[in-house]
Amino acid sequence: MKANMGSADRVIRLILGVIIAVLYFATDYLSGTIGIVLLVLGAIFIFTSLVSFCPLYLPLGLSTRKK
């Protein structure tokens, strides 16, 4: 896995993942099936930001990382 995410992309994904997790666990804004789907999406955002690799960028040939 070659890193393909820039620092701004990583920070945005991390913030979105944390916001989704807080909304799911601390409030009643997210619940039910939609809440679980968004929670999984938030976990994916957090994981991809920590490893600096987005699998969806690979087939599209995208990279937000500076060369």
Count: domains in the chain = 1
Average pLDDT over the chain reads 93
Range of the domain at 33: 7-49
* 4-27 mean pLDDT: 94
Number of Cβ within 10 Å of residue 15's Cβ equals 13
8 A C-beta contact, residue 66 and residue 5: no
Residue 41 lies in a domain: yes
Q: Model confidence over 51-66: pLDDT tens digits?
A: 999 999 999 998 999 8
CA distance linking residue 13 with residue 18, whole number of Å: 9
Span 16-29, mean pLDDT?
92
pTM: 0.87
Answer whether residue 17 is part of any domain: yes
